[in-house]
Chain A
Amino acid sequence: MLKKTLFFLALCPTQLPKYTTTQLTSLVVLRILIGWHFLYEGIVKVLNPYWSSAAFLLETKGIFSGLATSIVASPAALGIIDFLNMWGLIVIGLGLIAGCLTRIASISGIALLFFYYVFNPPLIGYTYSTPVEGSYLIVNKNLIEMCALFVLTIFPTGTTVGLDRLIFLKKKPE
């Protein structure tokens, strides 16, 4: 059962995608770049003993602000969120670069970025005191990276170039 689920997540659609070399290369490069970004963001947080998502959560605007406040108010919840965040970023980054369980990594990445986006949405009327390096109107880099990961989910490359090829291809039904 677990195998089947993993198989589905990693290979759906089960057909080996057919891309031209240029298409494949650009998709793999995009995957590696996003993976690199995730991996470094995660490592930086793990290496900083004082890092916490509290500052980000306290900035939350909109419908999730109540939830964010509850998380910050509870040291246990904050600890869990911090842990998931740090290690989630690292694992997703490793997965994307190596092409290992690529589809799971992409979908988890989308979920993580979705939370970043909805907790601090750059909507009209919301201002944040966290410094940002650009100017955003509704669309910010989280949203774009999220969409890029969505593209990678529906145009999978892990089974062509990536560890998924070794993990899943041999067992692929002929």
Chain B
Amino acid sequence: MNQKKNKKSSDKPGKKSAKKKKLTGKISKKPAKKEKLIDKISKKLAKKEEQISLGKEKTFKIEKANGMADEKPTKKEDVNLERRDILKGLATIPVFGPFLYAFLKKKLSDDFKRKEILAELGISKKAPAVLPKTDLKKPRELIRLGIIGFGGRGEALVHAAGFAHPDWIERKKKQAKDNKLNKGLETFLAQEDLNIALTGVCDVFDVRAERGIAASKNDIRPGGGSGLLKGARRYINYQDLIQSNDVDAVIIATPDHWHAQMTIDAVNAGKHVYCEKCMTRTIDETFKITEAVKNTGRVFQLGHQGRQQDSYIKAKQIAEKNILGKITLVETTTNRNSPDGAWVHEIHDEGSPETIDWEQFQGAAPNKAPFSLERFFRWPCWFDYGTGLSGNLLSHEYDAVNQILELGIPKSVVASGGIYFFQDGRDVPDVFQAVYEYPDRDLTFIYSATLASGRKRGKIFMGHDASMEVGSSLTVTADWESTRYKEKIMNNIINTSLPLFTYQPGLKDIDTVTSATERYFATRGLMYTLRGGRRVNTTHLHIKEWLDCIRNGGQTSCNIDRGFEEAITCHMATISYLEGRKVEWDPLDKKIV
């Protein structure tokens, strides 16, 4: 190898000098100045040639061929070095060509698909405008709230309104210390100050009433800081709270058997009412409460906070745009698998006939029972106080579907189930299914629940062209056999194994998902929620909506009409289960057949 090289380099000078002679000969006719220059170059070249390497010589040849050596002879030495270096230095730059080409091709194709899909669907990319403007100014008029029933749900409602029990604050502080991602306290304190005072608490259990008073005095709250909260007064009997001049509006979070009576009494006393679901326990109560609320014109809100869930609001828009095609089946579920989820709540140590006003608790219940801690703390397990899965959980699912599709009351229902797992003396089923028919809408609505398996099943709307799964996020997937999307599926614009698009609350846009990884992150809500998306408690929004209507007028989203539909629909299933028959609704006579 070395020998060869030497041989080559020894050959070269001879050839070069011959070429040089030619060169000088050619230029000799030109002015003397140039001749001098060329002479100089020739000398330099001769000197250089001894050190010249193989590569440099090649460059020189190229330059000669291009006639460049003649044009810039003064800097020839540097030029020779740079030419070669430039070539090698830039050798990899052309790689950017294919990179850009491939990148743009992929991007254009993805963008085209996105655009085509969104144009076909005709939906706005924007999120529904549900998150209220964060008006940092407090509303001017103070509303004084009373709460009846300060159990788990009552405490959560008051919390959402802006009053947390000191224990909760301490617990959250500790949790935030242990886990920096726990932002419970931060979220609570960032909540809007609704300009309310908690002035009345009524609970038949002393411990809970005291907790309510402690919460009402706690100044660690949204907009807090003055440290001068007067706190609530305890009312032993709910009637006293309702009649009190210190209370403008009442939250009712008692067992279901008290809802109707208390709401009727409250609106008749001129109070506005926020009532937990299920609105009533019986069909009869449903008519009475509706009449009372309508006659008094008080602002009524039923506690289905899902009404504030922006994925539900977006789902309604999608259904209205007919993106799913004809929807024939809607499937909803409840899947729980813990004693607490099955209402086997803890029995408080201090619960006793001395601390619990048992007579007032039983009140409107159809069957009077002797004092029972189980019945008091685990009331949803008995039909005397509620309607089990139907009023407790089907009601939420039905209301979500009613919000999205505006179904109203069904034509008929068949329900079944049994007490299959929690055979602990309860009389409500722990496995329960209800099948509702809406022949006018060509649609069946199914509810299916078990309290003894936590397997995830979504809330699914099945249409001819696409199906939609709605939870805290929303996913629409085109159907393989769709008529509407047939062409786009064939042209590979729509991929039926990927969602047509997904929607995440907190995310400003609807996005069409183009890769499996993106889909994975979207469905897990990992992509968006931690960045910028403000977390808001839906119950807080639901209470805020109620208070806004009290101050400014207008209709609440879950008003008495929606409540009427919810209660009738749930009770139809309960009757069907209890009587073991198909139950129908007569919309003209407004009665159950």
Contact = CB atoms under 8 A, between A and B. Distances in A.
B90 A163 contact: yes
Interface string B530-552: 11000000000000000000000
Given A55-B527, A72-B530, A99 B99 contact: no
A43 B106 CA distance: 12
A36 B521 contact: no
B85 interface: yes
A103 to B, nearest CB: 15
A77 to B, nearest CB: 11
Give the 7 A-B CB pairs with smallest separation, nearest first: A73-B180, A55-B526, A165-B89, A166-B89, A54-B530, A161-B91, A52-B531
Given A50-B527, A97-B95, A73 B181 contact: yes
Q: Which of A50, A78, A162, A163 is packed against the most chain B CB atoms within 10 Å?
A: A50
A98 interface: yes
B173 to A, nearest CB: 15
Contacts of A32: 92, 95
Given A50-B507, A78-B531, A169-B85, A39 B99 contact: yes
Interface in B55-108: 81, 85-86, 88-93, 95-96, 99, 103, 107
Contacts of A78: 530-531
Contacts of A165: 85, 88-89
A97 B181 contact: no
Contacts of B511: 50
A91 interface: no
A129 B525 CA distance: 13
Interface of A: 28, 31-32, 35-36, 39-40, 43, 47, 50-52, 54-55, 58, 69-70, 72-75, 78, 97-99, 129-131, 160-166, 169-170
A108 to B, nearest CB: 18
Contacts of A131: 516-517, 520
A69 B103 CA distance: 34
Interface in B484-537: 507, 511, 516-517, 520-521, 524, 526-528, 530-531
A51 B289 CA distance: 50
Contacts, number: 80
Contact of A40 (B103, B180, B521, B531): B103
A98 B93 contact: yes
Nearest to A165: B89
Contact of A97 (B96, B103, B516, B520): B96
B179 interface: yes
Q: How large is the interface on B (under 10, 10 to 19, 20 to 34, 35 or more residues)?
A: 20 to 34
Contacts of A130: 520
B99 A97 contact: yes
A163 B90 CA distance: 6
Nearest to A167: B89
Nearest to B521: A55
B181 A50 contact: no
Given A36-B95, A50-B527, A58-B526, 12 more contacts: A50-B511, A51-B527, A52-B530, A69-B181, A73-B181, A97-B99, A130-B520, A162-B92, A163-B89, A166-B86, A166-B89, A166-B90
A157 B92 CA distance: 11
29 contacts: A32-B95, A40-B99, A43-B103, A47-B107, A50-B527, A52-B527, A52-B530, A54-B530, A54-B531, A55-B524, A55-B526, A55-B527, A69-B181, A70-B180, A72-B181, A78-B531, A97-B92, A97-B95, A97-B96, A98-B93, A99-B92, A162-B88, A162-B92, A163-B89, A163-B90, A165-B85, A165-B89, A169-B85, A170-B81
A43 B102 CA distance: 13
Contacts of A166: 85-86, 89-90
Nearest to B511: A50
A98 B92 contact: yes
Interface string B89-130: 111110110010001000100000000000000000000000
Nearest to A99: B92
Contacts of B88: 160-162, 165
Given A55-B527, A78-B531, A98-B92, A36 B99 contact: yes
A75 B534 CA distance: 12
A113 B77 CA distance: 44
Contacts of B521: 55
A28 B507 CA distance: 43
Contacts of B528: 50
Contacts of B103: 40, 43
Nearest to B529: A54
Q: Which of A51, A55, A58 is packed against the most chain B CB atoms within 10 Å?
A: A55
B28 to A, nearest CB: 35
A51 B507 CA distance: 12
A170 to B, nearest CB: 8
A4 to B, nearest CB: 21
A130 B180 CA distance: 22
B185 to A, nearest CB: 13
A57 B248 CA distance: 49
Nearest to A69: B180
A61 to B, nearest CB: 16
Contacts of A47: 107
A131 B180 CA distance: 26
A164 B91 CA distance: 11
Contacts of A72: 180-181, 530
Contacts of A55: 521, 524, 526-527
Nearest to B78: A170
Contact of B92 (A39, A40, A161): A161
A82 B360 CA distance: 59
Contacts of A162: 88-89, 91-92
